């Protein structure tokens, strides 16, 4: 008789475990929807580390990519939120052979004023 009770106890424990796991999964997936920000990435390329007189650009504009001119080892990298157009970052960058690294812009206003690709354009 105790053998039968043990099976019922294990079955009850198993049902409780399945219920708790199901409830946890429900709470984990029923949270608020979070919309990921979509970003526009705009890269203006320069012939040298002076970052003056851009020679090309690549604009990954919120789902569409535009490009023209040259690509080099020096670029001005800008990131914007697609929904608002707000700029989230802007840096002069140099390719070091394996990745882009931020470097100081020698004259940031001149760099910005000599861009070929412009946000939203």
Contacts of 64-70 with C-beta under 8 Å, sequence gap 24+, read 66/117, 68/116, 68/117, 69/45, 69/116, 70/45
7-16, 22-31, 61-70, 102-111: which range is least confident on average?
22-31
- Section 30-55 average pLDDT: 82
Q: What's the rounded Cα separation, in Å, for the pair 67 and 112? A: 17
State pLDDT tens for residues 46-60.
Answer: 999 999 999 999 999
pLDDT for 27: 58
Q: What are the structural domain ranges in the chain? A: 1-34, 39-113
What is the structure's pLDDT at 26? 57
Task: Give the contacts of 55 (CB within 8 A, at least 6 positions apart).
Answer: 45, 46, 47, 69, 70, 72, 116
User: Does residue 66 have a pLDDT over 80?
Assistant: yes
Q: What is the pLDDT of residue 1?
A: 47
Task: Tell me the pLDDT band of 69, cut-offs 50, 70 and 90.
Answer: very high
Using an 8 Å Cβ cutoff, are 71 and 56 in contact?
Answer: yes
Instruction: Quote the pTM value.
Output: 0.68
Say how far apart CA 46 and CA 71 lie, in whole Å: 8
């Amino acid at each position: 008789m105790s053998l039968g009770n043990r099976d019922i106890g294990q079955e009850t424990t198993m049902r409780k475990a399945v219920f708790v796991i199901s409830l946890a999964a429900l709470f984990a997936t029923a949270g608020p929807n979070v919309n990921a920000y979509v970003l526009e990435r705009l890269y203006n390329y320069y012939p040298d580390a002076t970052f003056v007189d851009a020679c090309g650009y690549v604009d990954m504009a919120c789902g569409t990519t535009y490009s023209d001119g040259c690509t080099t080892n020096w670029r001005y990298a800008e990131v914007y939120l697609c929904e608002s157009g707000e700029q989230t970052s802007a840096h002069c960058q140099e390719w070091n052979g394996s990745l882009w690294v931020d470097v100081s812009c020698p004259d940031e206003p001149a760099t910005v004023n000599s861009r070929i690709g412009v946000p939203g354009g």
